[in-house]
Structure 1
Amino acid sequence: MNGFVPRKEAAPDSISSDRYGTFIDQPWKSPNKDPLSTFSIDVDTASYSNVRRMIVEGRQIPKDAVRIEECINAFSYKYDPPKGDGPFAVGATLAVCPWNPSHQLVRVAIKGREIETNKRPASNLVFLVDVSGSMQSSDKLPLLKQSMATMVEQLDERDRVAIVVYAGTEGVALPSTRLDAAGKATVLKSLEKLEAGGSTNGGAGIKRAYELAMKEKIEGGVNRVILATDGDFNVGVTGQPALVELVKERAKSGVYLTVVGFGTGNLNDAMMDAITHDGNGNYFYIDSDREGRKVFLQNLSGTLVTIAKDVKIQVEFNPAKVGSYRLIGYANRVLKNEDFNNDKVDAGDIGAGHTVTAFYELSGPGEGAGTDALKYQASAEKPAASAEWLTVKLRHKHPEGDESSKIEFPLTGEVQALDKTEPDFQFATAVALFGMKLRNMEEVRDFGWDKVIALATPGLANDATEDRAEFVGLLKKLAGTVKVLPEPAEVISDGGPRPRVVPAPPADR
């Protein structure tokens, strides 16, 4: 199919009750005073999907709706796979920083081990479905049912699915059912019957779903609650701290959590992001049938099989090479330095085949961390000469384990020119800039959208699903060169796009 059918732009709402958590971007730090930077990985993608919807609809984007790391990690990258039996491979690349050529940009890249579909473990899934009145609109419950049905079709007789619904009260719409041919038909019929109405007692529903998941728990298998909601909890256990504690406690049982957000107007993004942090979970947002297929066919196929949990990264900077540094994104994933070695502190999980990317911006030894030199403090000793810029350390646990393992490696070598880096590096950098500009970060305000487009363009060569082309379309809309975005290729069950050509007008800024 050639050409495209334009998306219609929605009139922006004058009032929105969507709720977002507040967080502060990481400041510049000096390796002499703060040599360590520690954070939890994040493979969530909800922020990017939600922000994309706002751009398409011409809405104003709240700063705190933009989580830079979720935008970067919404895309897959061709990182080197792990060697041997390790759960993942870790690497780092050093290049010139595009928005400040006197600075350096470091990319930390993680690639999870792939697992063939026929070798994945059996799954015990509980669909926890919000059927409250707030879920009535077409972009909520109807889209949710369609997306979940897509996933059911890809499972097989090894797997079991149950459905718990909640509104003013909670109940089991379908007990745990094995997905042979008859079982699939039963699950699909139960999904089709779901209707919205009533207030939202999310806390009671979560409790019931975990009870059912534990009852049918498969040792050595995938045990997961998939919560689909707009997060508008207004009855029962509604306070965010109480819900976070509830989910955190249930996570100790070995049942993982995935949250899938839907809709707009009363989207409780802050709640859904918070409960997945402490619930061994992931958070996605679905704004279209295409995104539903992507999440339930591609993203969840990896997320279901957790290959490592409580994955933490700690970077030590060499003050002989680095005058100051800052972490880009991960503002709500930062950990205390002592948390790195503390196995009691939770962190993010990584699923089969997932890629995780993080960026640091560095300045040279002659530059401070944005403050004047202190007058009354003892001078720091001259650091020992070393060719190492930094050392990356990573801790993780086996999905069923309680003790972590550590790997570490130094980053050495010369700074690469940006145009000499691989296209994936350039594309991920463009996505980081996208998030930084939407968060109105001062350092990139004068870095034009045309330059971001140019940086992203080489990455289009690796774009089988057209996700990257869609991203460039968003950039062109932000640059004012495109008024209505073309429809991207439809995601089908084998993960590939249907062949098509979508002409895109050139950027003129």
Structure 2
Amino acid sequence: ESNDFRAVSDHPLSTFAIDVDGASYTNTRRFIRDGERPPKDAVRIEEFLNYFQYDYPAPAAEDEHPFAATMEAGPAPWHEKHRLVHVGIQGQRVPRAERPPSNLVFLVDVSGSMRSPRKLPLLKKGFRMLAEQLRPEDRVAMVVYAGSSGIVLESTPGTETDSIKQAITRLEAGGSTAGAAGIRQAYQLAEENYIEEGINRVILATDGDFNVGVSSDGALQRLVERKRESGTALTVLGFGTGNIKDNKMETLANHGNGNYYYVDSATEARRVLVDQLGSTLQTIAKDVKVQVEFNPAEVAAYRLIGYVNRQLEDEEFADDSTDAGELGAGHSVTALYDVIPRGVESEVDVPTVGDLKYQETQPSDAAEASDELLTLKLRYKEPDGDESQLIERPLTQEAANREVSPDFSFAAAVAGYGMLLRDSEYKGSLTLDAVRRLAEQGRGEDPNGTRAGFISLVEDTRGVLAVSPPGEEGNPSQ
């Protein structure tokens, strides 16, 4: 499933909740490295985009809002008559020493299926890295579940690194996954050591078998939502192959106001557990929603690339009871719109309602006189707030016609790559060669090597697509 083009005359607004997960990219990388074409449902383009870091301007500490927005536009690589609008949101960066104290409870799957080197051994290696980053004011506990559940580490100060590492070393896989009270026990530990104005979170580490002591998926989601409302969030770490249930883990993390990560290597374990987890644990804005209003005098139709399962009704944008995504300190959000300018003859068929009898469907005089392509609207709440705040930023034609940034080129490459993997009907004339050229143009300084890694993955994909045409994807449960 993907978003279709919408006529601005009928649907001038595009509304969605942010999503900062990046698990789909690493899960797809695992499929490609194993020589398999990933299933379409495993390729969530917004998570491809949000896996990478971008050079977006961040707000200063004294700024009114905890994040800043940037926009630009350029040619769409897959349709020469289309334009691509690039939206970037950058969260305020908070130095490690200034972050609130953390109360973390790890809920670890130690069932027999976790024996694989890509699973529990990799998880233990990542946890040891994390243990070395804890501060004296931080606390960590550990609960395991398999044939039964139990506490292997009571809530322990971050200074007791040796005790924490010893508990990690003792983790062994074995047994079924009939955890009698795993997740309830983890939440109870988190509540017993709750830190007011701190970071309180349960971190579930699993290969996807969610038999953690709650009878059904619905009951598990409701439990996670209740705990979220009381101040304890849930983050999910996925490991290995086998019975990994990717969509299920993403959904659970979304309900828990947390993030979903898929860890496929020791390098990724460091990136997630050391470089990222420390910042994303601190929520700087919650229920963050995006709404773009297109000017019908400038734009005939648009398509939001990705974010299919994060779409909101337009009326939900101003409804503060609607749950949306959270933004962590230093985190960014990237979104792309494929836009058909007004007056352009595109080969894409865009359905329209047509003229109406009782109201105008033509652009207003104000729209015709405006030099704005669109207006970006953002709503968010403070981490402990109940009332949302509104930010509005227009994208003028002057700004839209400036030279695009390397980030634009790289984001276009990533989105195009996802469209090729999904065999999207909107991929147009795009090829892997064009994706590689765009990625090279947008590579930039690449301090973490992730963009170079993407270019390498594009090359690895050539052989996979050659022997595995659309319809012959790998099993999503593998």
Q: Report the Cα distance in structure 2 between the residues aligned to 1:382 and 1:79, rounded to whole angstroms.
A: 33
SS in 2 for 1:293: helix
- Indicate yes or no: 2:79 matched with 1:100: yes
Is the aligned partner of 1:117 residue 2:92? no
The one-character-per-residue Cα deviations of 1:373-401 (angstroms, maximum 9, x if unpaired) are 65674361343312111111111111122
TM-score by length of 1: 0.86
Residue in 2 that maps onto 1:381: 362
Aligned length: 457
For each residue in 1:167-202, what CA deviation from the matched residue of structure 2 results, as whole angstroms up to 9, or x when unmatched? 13222111101121xx21111101110111222246
Larger mean CA deviation between 77-86 and 305-314 belongs to 77-86
User: Corresponding residue for 2:327?
Assistant: 350
Corresponding residue for residue 210 of structure 1: 187
Alignment of 1:50-449 (within 5 A): 50-83=27-60, 84-85=62-63, 86-180=65-159, 183-201=160-178, 204-234=181-211, 236-366=213-343, 370-371=349-350, 377-378=356-357, 380-384=361-365, 385=368, 386-414=370-398, 420-444=403-427, 446-449=429-432
What is the CA–CA distance in structure 2 between the aligned matches of 1:62 and 1:481, rounded to whole Å? 13
2:12 matched to 1:31? no
Deviations, residues 322-361 of structure 1 (Å, cap 9, x unaligned): 1111100001111111111111111111111111100011
- Judging changes above 3 Å, is the alpha-carbon distance between structure 1 residues 222 and 56 closer, same or farther for their aligned structure 2 residues? same
CA shift for structure 1 position 424: 1.1
**Cα distance change on mapping 1:338 and 1:203 into 2, 3 Å:** farther
Aligned to 2:448: 465
Alignment CA distance shift 1:201-1:387 (3 Å):
farther
| Residue identity matched to 1:432 | A
1:185–1:375 distance in 2 versus 1, CA, 3 Å:
closer
Is contact 1:278-1:347 (8 Å) kept?
no
CA contact (8 A) 1:312 1:394 kept: yes
Contact 1:124/1:213 (<8 A) preserved? yes
CA distance in 2, matches of 1:423, 1:375: 39
Alignment of 1:41-52 (within 5 A): 41-52=18-29
Offset of 1:138 from its aligned partner? Answer: 1.1
1:26-46 per-position Cα deviation (integer Å, ceiling 9, x unaligned): 111112111111111111011
Q: Contact conserved, 1:67 with 1:329, CA < 8 A, in 2?
A: yes
Name the SS of the counterpart of 2:284 in structure 1.
strand
Q: Distance in 1 between matches of 2:440 and 2:121?
A: 35
Distance 1:154 1:179 in 2: 8
Per mean C-alpha deviation after superposition, the further-off stretch among 37-46 and 162-171 is 162-171
d(CA) in 1 for partners of 2:258, 2:449: 27
Counterpart CA distance in 1 for 2:130 and 2:362 is 58
Q: Assess if the C-alpha contact under 8 Å between 2:413 and 2:438 holds in 1.
A: yes
Indicate how the Cα distance of structure 1 residues 75 and 433 shifts in structure 2: closer, same or farther if over 3 A, else same.
Answer: same
1:57-79 Cα offsets, whole Å, 9 max, x none, are 21121111101011111110010
**Identity in percent:** 50
Give the residue type in structure 2 aligned to 1:392: L
Q: Quick one: distance in 1 between partners of 2:390 and 2:375?
A: 13
User: Structure 2: how far apart are the matches of 1:201 and 1:109?
Assistant: 43
| Structure 2 length-normalised TM | 0.91
Q: What is the deviation of 1:371?
A: 4.2
In structure 1, what residue type is equivalent to 2:107? L
Post-superposition Cα deviations, 1:82-138, rounded to whole Å, max 9, x if no partner, equal 143321101111111111121111111001111111111111110111111221111
Q: Distance in 2 between matches of 1:399 and 1:314?
A: 20
d(CA) in 2 for partners of 1:190, 1:415: 55
Deviation at 1:241, TM superposition (A): 2.2
Q: Distance in 2 between matches of 1:203 and 1:41?
A: 34
Distance 1:481 1:380, change over 3 A: closer
Q: Is the 8 A contact 1:473 1:482 kept in 2?
A: no
SS in 1 for 2:181: helix
Cα drift, residue 226 of structure 1: 0.9
Contact 1:95 1:415 in 2 (8 A): no
What secondary structure sits across from 1:444 in the alignment? Answer: coil
Root mean square deviation of aligned Cα: 2.1
Which residue pairs with 2:472 in the alignment? none
Distance 1:243 1:481, change over 3 A: closer
1:317 counterpart letter in structure 2: F
